[in-house]
Amino acid sequence: MQPLTFADVTVERVVEAEGPGFAPGFLLPDSDLDLIAAERDWLEPHFFDPATERLIQSQHTFVVRTPHHTILVDTCVGNDKDRPSSKAWHHMDTPYLEKLGALGLAPEAVDFVLCTHLHVDHVGWNTRLEDGRWVPTFPNAKYLFHREEMAFWEEHGDYVGQGYGASDGFYEDSVLPVMAAGQGVLVAGDHAIDDRLRLEPTPGHSPGHVVMHLDSGEGRAVFSGDMLHHPIQVAQPTWNSRYCWDPEMSAAARSAFVERHTDSEVTILAAHFAAPTAGRIVSAGSRRRFQV
């Protein structure tokens, strides 16, 4: 993704991993290959790999700089984490911090970390391993967690499996150490971070999922987390991912989100859309597509 500028706010992306991954039927159990084929004219080449028939996805962090603050949105899987449920995520070793450094960003300079929700691929770099202990990666940051999302994981943090987000211990190694260090802040779902950025509660994919709106006065964007996992869901908003917590609520929230942003000026910045990542939802007759 090219760096984006919304008046005095900039947005950049740090990629942890990217490429063809899931077969459509795995990530999106309700999906239909014929209906996907009908959208391949715009899904290729960025979002669908014809050679493997796999969805192309990414996991990344958005780096947002306003005149007041530097904010990271979602922190991927992280290095060294024990993730036996996923071969690709088990004990990852990527140059994520070096990539942040290449943007001129030292860990100490991050003011806020926002996790749109507490799933294993959105919290990983909250912490890093130091002398055998998990410590906050960003020592001066406040980590913002939606109160309702936290309440859910306080009860289900030891859950292992794939329904409502594979856990594999992320709550213990990537959330609790942040709270223990006094850097976690529980916020309401409509919390305003500053005069450019505010949250909106969007439960469904998880109980306390939030999106973050950017309004610079001269340009708007929405960091949509896992409201949409893949651009095909712009065309088929009722297709849930296998990791959605409440299927009905998730499909309804996604459908309303797509409807509201169709043909709007708002740039959509989703947590797993592969490069070039940023785009808008546009209509063409009765069809909708994601235009990069």
Q: Interface with Zn ion by CB under 5 A: which residues?
A: 121, 226
Q: Which one, 65 or 146, has the nearer CB to Zn ion? A: 146
Minimal distance in Å, beta carbon 16 to Zn ion?
A: 11
Identify residue 31 by its one-letter amino acid code: S
Q: Which one, 9 or 234, has the nearer CB to Zn ion? A: 234
Minimal distance in Å, beta carbon 64 to Zn ion?
A: 18
Q: Which one, 9 or 115, has the nearer CB to Zn ion? A: 115
Minimal distance in Å, beta carbon 241 to Zn ion?
A: 8
Minimal distance in Å, beta carbon 226 to Zn ion?
A: 4
Q: Are 63 and 100 in contact (CB under 8 A)?
A: yes
Minimal distance in Å, beta carbon 149 to Zn ion?
A: 13
For residues 109, 184, 134, 121, the Cα torsion angle rounded to the nearest 10 degrees is -90
First-last CA distance in the chain: 10
Q: Which one, 9 or 76, has the nearer CB to Zn ion? A: 76
- Rounded to whole angstroms, how far apart are CA atoms 290 and 275? 13
Minimal distance in Å, beta carbon 247 to Zn ion?
A: 16
HSE-up of residue 203 (Cα within 13 Å, Cβ side): 13
Minimal distance in Å, beta carbon 89 to Zn ion?
A: 11
Element (H, E) at 224: strand 220-225
Q: Which one, 168 or 226, has the nearer CB to Zn ion? A: 226
Please name every residue paired with 14 in a beta bridge, in sequence order, or none if there are none.
61
Positive or negative: CA dihedral 270, 242, 258, 151: negative
Minimal distance in Å, beta carbon 243 to Zn ion?
A: 7
Q: Which one, 141 or 271, has the nearer CB to Zn ion? A: 271
HSE-up of residue 56 (Cα within 13 Å, Cβ side): 17
Given the structure tokens 């749109």, which residue do they identify?
A: 116
Q: Which one, 144 or 270, has the nearer CB to Zn ion? A: 270
Q: What are phi and psi of 69, to 5 degrees?
A: -145, 160
**DSSP 3-state assignment of 43?**
helix
Positive or negative: CA dihedral 31, 32, 38, 41: positive
Q: Which one, 39 or 121, has the nearer CB to Zn ion? A: 121
Q: Residue 153's closest CA among 179, 127, 181, 192?
A: 179
Given the structure tokens 């530097």, which residue do they identify?
A: 70
